[in-house]
């Protein structure tokens, strides 16, 4: 609720949930207001999926759907997608579908890092996938486009992605020059490297995700006289594009880019 500037009561109402104790970790919820996943295109991922008359496994079956069947204008309500089929409204459980991300086929100059958000539609299977989003951004700059959900090394149930996980994702994409850099406090980050920062070190009025103060991956792009410029994937609509080439003061950056745990070096992943 805090992450999306809403209330628990509004979440319950939007998802028709009477008891907040029944909300579980990993459940897909409609976010009140502009964050509702409406007008999405979804694809059936198995053969013989049942289109039901109501969002309930005990409801009547309207028709059996074939694998790769697509529906446009789908909307998510709780754990069920509502679609239009054969002139009637039906429901498909979210475990049986994937969201379709249009392939933008971007014409991008070599080495240009196009911004992506960890809240984009292709990053829907985790909340804590900032590291995977950074991998996808850097991979794109080398001509390798990948959906964030498709990277094999995702964050753990506690939201952790290690530097080695990010390197493994690069290796999976055939980008085998990625390496972990243990950076002394006296050294400057390599340009276009993925840096592990403590998000609580950034001023709260500088970020959109004001309630988040844990560890976070960003892409360090460059410095100016008084600023550090990064791609910060933790921005979402309507402020999504603010994360692109986001500028933080050097004081903020120095407070955020610190050693993880008891070590004396900071952590980067560089794609050389």
Start and end residues for every CATH 3.90.70.10 domain found in the chain: 121-271
Cα–Cα distance, 41 to 73 (Å, whole number): 6
8-state DSSP, 200: G
Q: What is the pLDDT of residue 172?
A: 96
Report the pLDDT value the prediction gives residue 103, as an integer from 0 to 100: 55
Q: What is the pLDDT of residue 207?
A: 98
8-99: CATH homologous superfamily? SH3 Domains (2.30.30.40)
HSE on the CB side for 136, CA within 13 Å?
A: 24
**Helix (H) / strand (E) containing 90:** strand 88-93
Between the CA of residue 179 and those of 140, 155, 164, 222, 270, what are the distances in Å?
17, 19, 8, 19, 5
Cα–Cα–Cα angle for 55, 57, 46, rounded to 5 degrees: 95
**CATH code for the structural domain at 121-271:** 3.90.70.10
209, 197 in Cβ contact below 8 A? no
What's 30-61 look like in SS3? CCCHHHCCCCEEEEECCCCEEEECCCCCCCCE
- What does pTM read for this prediction? 0.63
Q: What is the Cα 45 distance to its own chain's centre?
A: 21
As annotated, the residues of the chain forming the CATH 2.30.30.40 domain(s) are: 8-99
Per-residue pLDDT of the chain (272 residues; tens, 9 = 90+): 766 667 788 878 877 788 877 776 656 676 776 445 556 788 898 899 999 999 999 999 999 999 889 998 888 877 889 999 888 899 999 888 887 766 555 555 567 899 999 999 899 888 899 999 999 999 999 989 999 999 999 998 888 899 999 999 999 999 999 999 999 998 989 999 999 999 999 999 999 999 999 999 999 999 998 999 999 999 998 899 999 999 999 999 999 999 998 889 999 999 99
Query: Do 221 and 227 touch, CB atoms closer than 8 A?
Result: no
In whole angstroms, what separates CA 101 from the centre of its chain? 13
Report pLDDT for 35.
47
């Amino acid at each position: 609720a805090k992450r999306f500037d809403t209330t628990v009561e509004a979440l319950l109402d939007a998802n028709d949930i009477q008891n907040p104790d029944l909300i579980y970790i990993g459940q897909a919820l409609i976010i009140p207001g502009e964050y509702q996943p409406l007008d999405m295109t979804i694809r059936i991922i198995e053969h013989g999926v049942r289109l039901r008359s109501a969002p309930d496994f005990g409801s009547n079956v309207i028709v059996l759907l074939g694998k790769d069947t697509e529906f446009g204008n789908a909307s998510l309500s709780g754990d069920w997608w509502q679609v239009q089929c054969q002139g009637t409204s039906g429901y498909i459980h979210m475990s049986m579908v994937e969201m379709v991300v249009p392939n933008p086929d971007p014409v991008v100059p070599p080495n240009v890092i196009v911004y992506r958000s960890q809240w984009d539609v292709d990053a829907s299977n985790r909340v804590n996938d900032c590291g995977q989003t950074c991998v996808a951004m850097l991979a794109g700059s080398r001509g390798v486009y990948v959906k964030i959900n498709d990277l094999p090394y995702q964050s753990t149930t506690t939201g952790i992605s290690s530097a080695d996980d990010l390197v493994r994702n690069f290796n999976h994409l055939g980008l085998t020059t990625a390496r972990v850099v243990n950076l002394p406090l006296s050294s400057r980050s390599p340009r276009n490297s993925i840096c592990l920062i403590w998000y609580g070190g950034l001023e709260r009025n500088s970020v959109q995700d004001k309630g988040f103060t844990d560890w976070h991956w960003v892409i360090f792009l460059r410095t100016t006289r008084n600023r550090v410029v990064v791609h910060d994937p933790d921005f979402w609509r309507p402020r999504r594009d603010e994360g692109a080439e986001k500028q933080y003061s050097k004081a903020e950056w120095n407070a955020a880019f610190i050693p993880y745990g008891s070590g004396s070096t900071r952590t980067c992943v560089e794609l050389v």
